[in-house]
Amino acid sequence: MRRTFVLLVVIMSMFISCSPRQKLIDSLVSAVAEGKFLFGHQDDLMYGHDWTAARAGDSLFLRSDVFDVTGCYPYILGLDLGGIELGSECNLDGNDFGRMKAAALAHHERGGVLTFSWHLRNPLTGGDSWDVGKGDAVCSVLPGGSRHEMFVLWMDRVCDFLSGLRDEAGREIPVLWRPFHEHTGNWFWWCASECKAEEYNELWRMMYDYMVGTKGMKNLVWVISPSSSWINEFAERYPGDRYVDVVGLDCYSPTAVSIEEASVGFRSELAICFDILGRFCSEHDKILAFCETGFEGIPDSKWWTEVLAPAIDGVPISYLLTWRNSNDIANKDTHFFCAWPGQKSEDDFREWVSAGRAKML
Ligand code: BMA
pLDDT tens-digit series, residues 192-224: 999 999 999 999 999 999 999 999 999 999 999
What pLDDT shows up at residue 4? 62
Report CA(96)–ligand 1 centroid distance (Å): 15
Q: What are phi and psi of 327, to 5 degrees?
A: -120, 10
Dihedral, 191, 270, 112, 326 alpha carbons, nearest 10: 70
Residue nearest to atom 4 of ligand 1 (CA): 93
Query: What is this structure's pTM?
Result: 0.95
What pLDDT shows up at residue 6? 54
> How far does Cα 222 stand from its chain's mean position?
10
| CB distance 119 to ligand 1 below 6 Å | yes
Report CA(15)–ligand 1 centroid distance (Å): 38
Residue nearest to atom 10 of ligand 1 (CA): 93
Distance (Å, whole) CA 141 – CA 121: 12
150, 123 contact by CB (below 8 A): yes
Distance (Å, whole) CA 231 – CA 264: 19
What pLDDT shows up at residue 46? 98
Q: Which residue spans within the chain are E strands per DSSP?
A: 37-42, 47-48, 51-52, 76-80, 113-117, 175-178, 220-224, 246-250, 287-293, 319-322, 358-359
Residues 18-67 have pLDDT tens digits of: 899 999 999 999 999 999 999 999 999 999 999 999 888 888 999 999 99
Atom number of ligand 1 nearest to Cα 93: 10
| CB distance 90 to ligand 1 below 6 Å | no
Atom number of ligand 1 nearest to Cα 335: 8
The string of DSSP letters for 203-218 reads: HHHHHHIIIIIIS---
Residue nearest to atom 3 of ligand 1 (CA): 93
What pLDDT shows up at residue 54? 86
| CB distance 92 to ligand 1 below 6 Å | yes
All residue ranges of the chain with pLDDT < 70 are 1-17
Report CA(10)–ligand 1 centroid distance (Å): 45
